[in-house]
Amino acid sequence: MTNTIEVRNPRTGKFDYVIIPPPPRLLAQQCNRARRAQTQWYQLGLEGRIAALREWKEAILAARQSLTDALVNDTGRLSISILEIDSFFSSIDRWCDLAPDLLQESAKNTSIPFIALQQTSVPYPLVGVISPWNFPLLLSMIDAIPALLAGCAVVIKPSEIAPRFVAPLLTSLNNVANLRDVLIFIEGAGETGAALIDYVDLICFTGSVNTGRRVAEAAARRFIPAFLELGGKDPAIVLASANIDLATSAILWGAVVNTGQSCLSIERVYVAESIFEEFYHQLVAKAYSLQLAYPDIENGQIGPIIAEKQAAIISDHLADAVEKGAIIHCGGKVEELGGGWWCRPTVLTQVNHAMKVMTEETFGPIMPVMPFSNVEEAVFLANDSIFGLSAAVFAGSEAEALAVGRQINAGAISINDAALTAIMHEGEKNAFKLSSLGGSRMGGAALTRFMRKQAFLIKTNSAHDPWWFNQE
């Protein structure tokens, strides 16, 4: 576990960065240090914790360019990296604003007049976070920020595919005395993440179903909570009454933003037969208008494929679809440019559920489009999946779209839009099927899930309780 790991640059294909996983003893020491510091962090009180996080935000703002440069080298894309950093700053502000109301203690009347109830919550001392490579900064902090505000210490193991962003964060963190001992980053691959589970009181994981299953099993053996955000194969249903221009624009963005490297990407599209031809022709035309951000990173909307292994998966899904009769109308291949792997937005028709591109997570800018004859068929196809992360429905009216959306087995349904959970985090939701385990990562529950509820049942008089033994 002490061997160095070379990190590939997704734009150049060169291995130009090295991380060193901690040996078991050092990992234990880091976790123990965070656990010891957590007591003082919690005793700071919520106002103190908010002040520390706001201080950290200012320190990062002062070094924003170095963080941007690191994220660009991690992911090969510029505009989404800027958006990712802005979203990170916004999440600090949002949680600092929401936390006082969410963490209020309460006193309640009870059904027994002389027994009072005081309700409080106690944080899990040490939270572990294992985060992925597609949004390295945002997804490493999406659980960490609310956990810190709850009073937990946090140890983060980011993906070994995109770890460069950690260095500028640590530099800024060293300037915040109250925070630096309770927010720890450890570098390493899967075995480091697996070892981390043995030291924490709660684990958050974002990644594949297969790895998530192993995380859940390890957590279960230790009797600790596991909050898992796993894969998706998000469907979009476009009814005959839908605004085609709106639907194609929304689905294009929802499918190819960040080169489709998002669990909440639209990965399959079901369109009413009566508008099918017009829909896919318009989608193809809009897809053609998007350009690769190559060779100039500041031009074009489509960045490289970040993980080399993902390029192979995308190629396999496209080859499987073509072999089984799919027709490619634009894009359609993974190409090597300047050492990096790239894929242009791709629209396919003549697809079916015998194809990997309709059933397995592709994680690329791929839009397979399939017609349906009636609403029942559309709902059946949308639900014909092992995943249930999110979905989208387009119709001429909100009521018509909602009526269909309520039949879809997914945690978040965008109505006349797509992938809205990437933008709006207020709505609590639990993904269905194999897409998640544990409490909601969004809405108020995203903070309160890091607290254990504690009840004080207080006898308020000196009389004998009527249920005690009668000893007269």
**CATH number of the domain that 360 lies in?**
3.40.309.10
pLDDT attached to residue 44: 97
The answer to whether position 113 is within a domain reads yes
What pLDDT was estimated at residue 425? 85
Task: For residue 472, indicate whether it is catalytic.
Answer: no
Write down the catalytic residue from 187, 229, 361, 400. 229
CA 151 to chain centre: 22
Q: Is residue 471 part of a domain?
A: no
* Catalytic residue (one of 96, 204, 263, 343): 263
CA-wise closest residue to 253 among 293, 219, 302: 302
Within this chain, do residues 245 and 113 fall inside the same structural domain, yes or no? no
**33 and 97 housed in the same domain:** yes
Distance separating alpha carbons of residues 261 and 313, to the nearest angstrom: 12
Same domain, 273 and 158: no
284 with 381, same domain: the answer is yes
268 and 411 fall within a common domain: yes
Smallest Cα–Cα separation from 443: which of 419, 424, 426, 420? 426
- 238 and 222, same structural domain? no
Q: DSSP string covering 159-189, please?
A: -TTS-TTHHHHHHHHTT-HHHHTTEEE----
Are 211 and 278 in the same domain? no
Which helix (H) or strand (E) segment holds residue 13: the answer is: none
- pLDDT in the model for residue 309: 97
Name the residue range of residue 369's domain.
234-422
Encoding tokens for residue 276?
A: 């099918």
Please confirm, yes or no, whether 263 is among the known catalytic residues.
Answer: yes
Beta strands in 15-140 (DSSP E): 15-19, 106-108, 115-123, 126-130
Question: How far is CA 268 from each of CA 234, 353, 357, 359, rounded to the nearest angstrom?
Answer: 7, 10, 8, 9
- Asked, for residue 67, whether it belongs to a domain, the answer is yes
> How confident is the model at residue 1, as a pLDDT?
44
Model-level pTM?
A: 0.95
Walk along the chain (472 residues) in steps of 10 and give the mean pLDDT of each run.
86 97 96 97 98 97 96 97 96 96 86 92 97 97 98 98 97 94 97 97 97 98 97 97 98 98 96 98 98 96 97 98 98 97 98 98 98 98 98 98 98 97 90 94 94 94 92 72
Q: Which residues have C-beta within 8 Å of that of residue 380, sequence separation ≥ 6?
A: none
Q: Are 168 and 66 contacting, i.e. CB atoms less than 8 angstroms apart?
A: yes
Q: What is the pLDDT of residue 215?
A: 98
